[in-house]
Chain A
Amino acid sequence: QQKVQQSPESLIVPEGGMASLNCTFSDRNSQYFWWYRQHSGEGPKALMSIFSNGDKKEGRFTAHLNKASLHVSLHIKDSQPSDSALYFCAVRAGTGSNRLTFGKGTKFSLIP
């Protein structure tokens, strides 16, 4: 069964600062990866996906994937108050699987 682990559990950075969220997975057949963001009282929303090794940048967010190391990360630069949320890493195996396995999440907060 796929295991997805996230670190750190919580992260506090100053406004305008940079942050790195990490995620490791156990199934070497994993092919598809997402970062989801959940604001308090809402459902999770997809932030970005990454399917190929390397970096993918979308605005202030950059995802990095290394399938050989079973590792995916999310980097946030110029942190804004709206970034304060719970961030989930989600992993899907290859073709034939329609299931996403989520990590436990990283709680990201800004120092006012």
Chain B
Amino acid sequence: EAAVTQSPRNKVAVTGGKVTLSCNQTNNHNNMYWYRQDTGHGLRLIHYSYGAGSTEKGDIPDGYKASRPSQENFSLILELATPSQTSVYFCASGTGNSDYTFGSGTRLLVI
């Protein structure tokens, strides 16, 4: 079954440290997305990609980088983590007018 898998499921990081969140999809979708979910804000788009080698800024890209080394993999990188980046992060894949398929999320706590 086609799926989106995120790792790790939970992560505790120290302020100023580097954090990498990983996402793998088996849907063969061209487009992949990173969202964060916070109470009162819903889902906000951080970065997205149209295919291997491409990354685009979403609505809240500051403090985040993204990498799409292959069709299947899309990473979100926090070079210098801050407590304000404590959140739940979701990766999704999609193509054309298809539904997005979301992963189960990564819960990140920055202390």
Binding site for B on A (CB under 8 A): 1, 32, 34, 36, 42-46, 49, 51, 88, 90, 98-105
Contacts and interface: CB of A to CB of B under 8 A. Distances in A.
Contacts of B102: 43-45
Interface of B: 4, 31, 33, 35, 40-45, 48, 50, 58-59, 90, 92, 94, 97, 99-100, 102-105
Contacts of A32: 97
A103 B100 contact: no
Nearest to B59: A1
Given A42-B104, A43-B105, A98-B31, A103 B45 contact: no
A64 B48 CA distance: 29
Nearest to B40: A104
Contacts of A102: 35, 42-44
A99 B41 contact: no
A90 B92 CA distance: 13
Contact of B45 (A45, A49, A99): A99
B48 A43 contact: no
B42 A43 contact: no
Contacts of B104: 42-43
Contact of B48 (A44, A46, A98): A98
Contacts of A51: 97
